[in-house]
Structure 1
């Protein structure tokens, strides 16, 4: 069975995304004290080590265990499987869209893996540009998902303007 370049590209982006995320989280767990905060670039860019039992910004961390299992593990796995199936089936997707969807899948899988193995997700980056722009504490998987979504938005706007 011959594997297409497209399939290799998709799987490579997913695997690299997961690897970068997991390596960064291992480094944080080994080298940054839990609950700590270190300045990287003043108060603008800081490094932390926090465990997030919920989803984005801790949402869902106070749900009962059954609901948390459904909303933070089962539902994301089903959605990620459907997105993966979609990108393998739709041969008309351009490389930017393939990269975006693959980044979203890789980031999603990395965070689901953490929830299964550790019971929470390690978050560590924080950006605060003086009130003008401020993030929650996030990780590389979150960055991959967000980047993928931004790329998809740009691609969709470009298609509408053509």
Structure 2
């Protein structure tokens, strides 16, 4: 459980620190875009009112609050599952990534009304139109890790 908590806290801190540094500190909120290492890394300000790739985006407060509630319910469920089942080290890390990332995006929705996305990466002739953030990476990695590191054959271990 301690591993999950430390991972969640670290993930949340890195997400929020990166958003403060880039969105506020580098004034990306007003500049809109900064080429860091083109085309591999560009800071491109985007406000995501929906979930991944802007799905369910809308101007209504009901959608915003619905996403907040769903994020909190999933985070609480994952947290309780970790406490109850005492999964192995990698499953705990995965759970911490998912919870820390989800809570980072919840804070954005509460503070800004939308998630602050700013990372844009392209490569090898592929122009990526989407922006994302540290929390998005953590949520994806955490969900993938929970699929890979839990279930049959991934019995409980003390970490």
| TM bracket (short chain) | 0.7 to 0.9
TM, length-normalised to structure 1: 0.82
Which of 106, 112, 132 matches 2:106? 112
1:141 match: 135
Gap change, CA 1:154 and 1:8, over 3 Å in 2: closer
| Cα shift at 1:79 | 1.3
**Greater relative contact order structure (CA < 8 Å, 6+ sep):** 2
Matched, 1:21 2:15: yes
TM-score (ref. length: structure 2):
0.83
What is the CA distance between 1:29 and its match in structure 2?
2.1
CA distance change for structure 1 residues 113 and 146 in 2, over 3 Å: closer, same or farther?
Answer: same
CA distance in 2, matches of 1:101, 1:66: 27
Residue number among 54, 57, 62 corresponding to 1:58 in the alignment:
54
C-alpha displacement of 1:39:
2.1
Change beyond 3 A, Cα 1:104–1:129: same
Q: Point out where structure 2 has 5 or more consecutive residues left out of the alignment.
A: 155-159
1:130–1:159: structure 2 CA closer, same or farther, 3 Å change rule?
farther
Structure 1: give runs of 5+ residues left out of the alignment.
1-6
What corresponds to 1:99 in structure 2?
Answer: 93
Contact 1:126 1:136 in 2 (8 A): yes
